């Protein structure tokens, strides 16, 4: 178990295209690090550089305190779960899991191997499948065999490349909690590639957001959500995504297509001299005024026509179309392309309480707390409302949470062994 | 619904394959029937049924002739040479081609295209055009009428073929298999031996059988590059003589032909199970 340090890693493929560009990360011992980003942003490439399947063009990679740039994969002692599992089809499940142990010649005798494989299979609920071939297993079972092969040896770290993307939604949820539990229990450094929002937010101690090979922000999920550094991170994290509204700056007022927002203090300083900014408001920041909930000091009220509503039982979405200012439309379109979007988003998504009586065609009366609003520079995309102190506090808090979780897992491990979850391959 | 459709398709395919089976099987059956005819029956159609096809009285004389009778000295050594030469050529070419095809499928190196094109070019080359130069060369280096002198030209036939088949096979094996093995702690050689070779086994067997047939059926090289110490069965058949000067050796030749077909049939039956494709299923997502 080790920390992993990436220093200015660059990967250029044969055609000179930098798939990973100057990425620096410090992954602490026992930390669960997530790599996310839209398709083709270099997540897999970065992971494969760590494990040694891809040469490093420049920069340093340290595992523990040892520089491993030039070591072969087998000398790095990392365990990887591939997106398509890459099980050995000619070997039984037992032999698949035992494979890394058998390769470490002289380290394990037969009874030792048996013990370790059985321990791994018990943990992953694979006991009755040990003599079967991978070809006869379900997707979830194969996934667990792949994990068994990774956990059976004492690797320095686990690397996962979208391990759940081939499973159906229900199984994905089960395996997700299973992975989280296993990681805490083993307390092993983990790097996990995904493009699934939920996996990124729930599993990670910290999440690294990549865009076109460049690291945008590496922070705990809450900081990414509440204090994004730029437009890209703000738009990428969160589902449904953050609403972006063009806003004209007039004195100390931001004129958005739906409402005028007065600003003051530090933010007013920052936007001084700018003509246009982009305002980002999360869907759940909007509230239905007719429900009579208490409004924060200085809440902004406005009325807007609702185009479509979607009622989901526990919550409700309302869509409010608006006209985007042509001068920022380009920027918003570009952002949309970066985020793999399907077209321009000139509608406001509002996440309402399920009690709300607002229906399509109505004029809804809404309010929001401007303190929860994000303001972005349209040129650089930089977030002008980011609160560094608050961000630092979140980091501290999440670091403490992580340590506590690890501690708890260790204690529980001492008391209970083999609390195997329910069979996960249903459906 | 779906099973109905596929049943229908299956019936059609079965019906369509019947004429093809008849077309290919009749000559073989004819050889078998001829080998079972006595000299008298060969000359006299009234001793046969089904329009001169099947003998009324089955006679094993032709088989006796080639195994214990007058043709024994010609046939038995030839059979032995055939087995030795073809097995050696097959083993060598499959081993060479496995390594070569693996490199072609997995590595990028300059000249990769060239190797593949050359391999293809060599197998297009008419055999008869190679025989004369090789004949002259072998006589001067002392390889004429030796077993290695036959194995080497056979390699020229079988190696390119094997490389092509195996390269296609290796390319089908997901590269992740090997990478997974390497991450699990295998050297490149271990990954090759413990993961790739078992996965490629069906391909290797298919290739081996095809290479074996190619060598086993060769006539031109054997006829021209050997005289008696290495002559294989197809060429030896041409030198069969009848029991007397005035009888044709038709029956004996047919009997020998049946005998040399048997190893081929055995090979196919033995390895039939291993040639089934789809061994890699389950390696990756379903
Ligand atoms: N072998 C290669 N040669 C050249 N370019 C490559 C190669 N492999 C990947 N790339 C490029 O590198 C970039 C990053 O690829 P990578 O596979 O890391 O993306 P990713 O973030 O894993 O995407 P996804 O979510 O789709 O898996 C892509 O733009 C891709 O085109
Ligand atoms: Mg990927």
- Cα of A358 to nearest chain B Cα, Å: 45
> What percent of chain A has pLDDT above 70?
95
Residue A247 makes CB contacts below 8 A (sequence gap 6+) with: A254, A255, A256, A261, A276, A277, A278, A279, A375
Residue A421 has pLDDT above 60, yes or no: no
The closest residue, in CA terms, to atom 14 on ligand 1 is A42
| Contact between A215 and A45 (Cβ < 8 Å) | no
* Predicted confidence (pLDDT) per residue in B96-131, tens digit: 999 999 989 888 888 888 988 888 888 787 888 889
Mean pLDDT score of chain B: 84
Min mean pLDDT across A14-18, A186-190, A345-349, B141-145 is at A345-349
pLDDT band at B53 (very low <50, low <70, confident <90, very high): confident
C-alpha B167: how far from chain center: 19
Indicate whether residue A280 lines ligand 1 (CB < 6 A): no
Is residue A60 predicted with pLDDT exceeding 90? yes
- Least confident interval from A149-158, A211-220, A404-413: A404-413
Could you tell me if B218 and B232 are in contact, meaning their C-beta atoms sit under 8 angstroms apart? yes
The 3-state DSSP class for residue A352 equals strand
Reply yes or no on whether the pLDDT at B94 is more than 90: yes
- Bridge partners of A351, per DSSP, are A317
Residue A331 Cβ inside 6 Å of ligand 1? The answer reads no
List the single residue in B with minimal CA-CA distance to A167: B285
Q: Where are the domains of chain A?
A: 4-226, 240-386, 389-426
Res. B246: pLDDT tops 80: no
CA dist B140 and B138 (Å) reads 5
Q: How far is the CA of A19 from the centre of ligand 2 (A)?
A: 11
How many residues are listed for chain A in this entry? 427
Q: At what angle do helices B72-106 and B197-216 cross, to 10 degrees?
A: 140
In terms of Cβ atoms closer than 10 Å to its own Cβ (0-12, 13-18, 19+), residue B16 is exposed
| Position A427 pLDDT exceeds 70 | no
Is residue A203's pLDDT more than 50? yes
What would the mean pLDDT of A275-286 be, rounded to a whole number? 91
Q: Quick check: A151 and A120 in contact, CB under 8 A? A: yes
On the question of pLDDT at B279 being above 70, the answer is no
Res B275: pLDDT: 60
Average pLDDT value over all residues in chain A: 88
Beta carbons of A74 and B195 less than 8 Å apart: no
Q: How far apart are CA A368 and CA A281, in angstroms?
A: 9
Say how many C-beta atoms besides its own lie within 10 A of residue A249's C-beta. 18
Count of pairs with CB atoms under 8 A, one residue in A, one in B: 88
| Contact assignment for A89 to B280 by CB distance below 8 Å | yes
pLDDT-derived band at B243 (thresholds 50, 70, 90) equals low
Closest CA to A207 of A199, A171, B196, A125: A199
Q: Which residues contact A347 (CB under 8 A, 6 or more apart)?
A: A307, A319, A320, A321, A322
Q: How far is CA B138 from CA A333, B144, B150, B236, B244, in A?
A: 75, 5, 10, 20, 35
Q: Which residues pair with A402 in a beta bridge?
A: none
pLDDT at B286: 38
SS3 state at A182: helix
Q: Which residues contact A275 (CB under 8 A, 6 or more apart)?
A: A248, A249
* Ligand at shortest distance from the CA of A161: 2
Please judge whether B285 and A53 are an interchain contact, meaning their C-beta atoms are less than 8 angstroms apart.
no
Task: Quote the CATH superfamily of domain A240-386.
Answer: Nucleic acid-binding proteins (2.40.50.140)
Better-predicted residue by pLDDT, A353 or A330: A353
Stated pTM of the model = 0.79
Question: Best residue in B177, B182, B183, B204 to probe A by mutation, most A CBs within 10 Å?
Answer: B183
What Å distances lie between residue A171 and A143, A374, B14, B286, CA to CA? 10, 36, 43, 15
Phi, psi of B214 (to 5 degrees): -55, -45
For residue A293, give the DSSP letter: P
B180 touches chain A (CB under 8 A): yes
Q: Residue A50: closest CA among chain B residues belongs to which residue?
A: B183
Q: What's the number of CA atoms in the CB half-sphere (13 Å) around residue A119?
A: 13
The CATH superfamily assigned to A4-226 is P-loop containing nucleotide triphosphate hydrolases (3.40.50.300)
pLDDT at A420: 42
Banded pLDDT at A342 (limits 50, 70, 90)? low
Model pLDDT, residue A69: 93
CA dist., res. A278 & res. A324, Å (int): 11
Strand partners, A374: A280
Lowest mean pLDDT across A126-135, A250-259, B32-41, B157-166: B32-41
Average pLDDT, stretch B86-102?
Answer: 93
pLDDT exceeds cutoff 50 at A424: no
Asked if omega into B255 is within 30° of 0 (cis), the reply is no
Distances (CA, A) of B23 to A263, B29, B36, B259: 91, 11, 21, 22
- Indicate whether B1 pLDDT > 50: no
Q: Which among A338, A351, A344 has a CA at the least distance from the CA of A324?
A: A344
- pLDDT above 90 covers a percentage of chain A that reads 51
Report the gap between the CA of A427 and the closest CA in chain B (Å). 15
pLDDT, position B116: 87
d(CA B169, CA A93) in angstroms, rounded, equals 24
Contact of A163 with A143, CB cutoff 8 Å = yes
**ipTM of predicted complex:** 0.80
pLDDT at A227: 94
CATH superfamily of B69-284: MetI-like (1.10.3720.10)
Inter-helix orientation angle B250-275/B72-106, to 10°: 30
How large is the C-alpha radius of gyration of chain B?
24
pLDDT digits over A69-89, tens only?
Answer: 999 999 999 999 998 889 998
Domain ranges of chain B: 1-59, 69-284
Do A142 and B181 make contact, defined as CB atoms within 8 angstroms? no
Partner residues linked to A368 by β-bridges: A300
Bridge partners, residue A319, by sequence: A308, A349
The answer on pLDDT for B50 being more than 80 is no
Q: What is the pLDDT of residue B228?
A: 80
Compute chain A's Rg from CA coordinates: 24
Q: Is the CB of A16 under 6 A from ligand 1?
A: no
Phi, psi dihedrals of residue A308, rounded to the nearest 5°: -140, 145
């Amino acid at each position: 178990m080790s920390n992993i340090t990436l220093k200015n890693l660059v990967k250029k493929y044969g055609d000179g295209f930098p798939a990973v560009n100057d990425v620096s990360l410090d992954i602490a011992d026992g930390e669960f690090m997530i790599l996310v980003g839209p398709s083709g942003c270099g997540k897999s490439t970065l992971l494969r550089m760590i494990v040694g399947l891809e040469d490093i063009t420049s920069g340093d990679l340290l595992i523990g305190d040892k520089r491993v740039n030039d070591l072969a994969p087998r000398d790095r002692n990392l365990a990887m779960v591939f997106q398509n599992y890459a099980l050995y089809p000619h070997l039984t499940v037992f032999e698949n899991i035992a494979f890394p142990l058998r390769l470490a010649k002289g380290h394990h005798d037969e009874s030792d191997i048996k013990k370790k494989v059985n321990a791994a299979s018990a943990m992953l609920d694979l006991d009755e499948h040990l003599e079967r071939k991978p070809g006869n297993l379900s997707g979830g079972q194969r996934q667990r065999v792949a994990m068994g092969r990774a956990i059976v040896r004492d690797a320095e770290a686990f690397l996962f490349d979208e391990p759940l993307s081939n499973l159906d939604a229900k199984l994905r949820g089960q395996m997700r909690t299973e992975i989280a539990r296993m990681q805490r229990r083993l307390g092993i450094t983990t790097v996990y590639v995904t493009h699934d929002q939920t996996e990124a937010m729930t599993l990670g101690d910290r999440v690294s957001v990549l865009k076109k090979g460049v690291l945008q922000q590496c922070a705990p999920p809450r900081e990414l959500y509440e204090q994004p550094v730029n437009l890209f991170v703000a738009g990428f994290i969160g589902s449904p995504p953050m609403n972006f509204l063009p806003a004209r700056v007039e004195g100390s007022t931001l004129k958005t297509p739906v409402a005028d927002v007065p600003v003051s203090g530090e933010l007013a300083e920052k936007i001084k001299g700018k003509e246009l900014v982009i305002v980002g408001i999360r869907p759940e920041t909007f509230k239905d005024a007719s429900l009579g909930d208490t409004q924060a000091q200085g809440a902004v009220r406005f009325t807007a026509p609702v185009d479509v509503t979607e009622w989901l039982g526990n919550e409700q979405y309302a869509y409010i179309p608006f006209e985007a200012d042509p001068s920022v439309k380009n920027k918003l379109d570009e952002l949309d392309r970066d985020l793999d979007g399907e077209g321009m988003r000139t509608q406001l998504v509002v996440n309402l309480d399920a009690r709300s009586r607002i229906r399509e065609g109505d004029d809804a009366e809404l309010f929001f707390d401007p303190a929860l609003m994000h303001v972005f520079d349209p040129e650089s995309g930089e977030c002008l409302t980011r609160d560094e102190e608050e961000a630092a506090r979140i980091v501290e808090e999440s670091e403490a949470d992580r340590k506590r979780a690890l501690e708890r897992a260790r204690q529980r491990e001492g008391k209970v062994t083999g609390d195997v979850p329910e069979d996960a391959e249903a459906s | 619904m779906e099973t109905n459709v596929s049943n229908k398709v299956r019936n059609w395919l079965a019906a369509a394959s019947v004429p093809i089976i008849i077309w290919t099987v009749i000559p073989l059956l004819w050889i078998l029937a001829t080998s079972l005819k006595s000299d008298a029956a060969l000359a006299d159609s009234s001793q046969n049924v089904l329009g001169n096809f099947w003998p009324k009285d089955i006679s094993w004389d032709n088989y006796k002739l080639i195994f214990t009778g007058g043709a024994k000295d010609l046939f038995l050594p030839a059979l032995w040479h055939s087995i030795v030469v073809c097995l050696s050529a097959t083993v060598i070419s499959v081993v060479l081609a496995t390594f070569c095809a693996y490199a072609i499928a997995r590595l990028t190196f300059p000249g990769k295209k060239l190797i593949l094109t050359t391999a293809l070019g060599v197998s297009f080359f008419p055999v008869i055009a190679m025989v004369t130069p090789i004949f002259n060369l072998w006589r001067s280096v002392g390889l004429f009428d030796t077993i290695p002198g036959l194995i080497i030209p056979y390699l020229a036939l079988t190696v390119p073929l094997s490389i092509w088949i195996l390269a296609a096979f290796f390319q089908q094996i997901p590269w992740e298999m090997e990478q997974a093995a390497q991450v699990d702690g295998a050297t490149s050689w271990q990954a090759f031996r413990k993961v790739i070779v078992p996965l490629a086994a069906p391909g290797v067997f298919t290739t081996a059988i095809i290479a074996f047939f190619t060598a086993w059926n060769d006539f031109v090289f054997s006829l021209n590059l050997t005289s008696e110490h290495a002559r294989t069965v197809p060429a030896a058949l041409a030198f069969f003589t009848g029991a007397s000067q005035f009888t044709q050796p038709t029956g004996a030749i047919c009997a020998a032909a049946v005998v040399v077909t048997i190893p081929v049939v055995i090979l196919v039956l033995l390895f039939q199970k291993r040639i089934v494709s789809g061994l890699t299923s389950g390696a990756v997502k379903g």
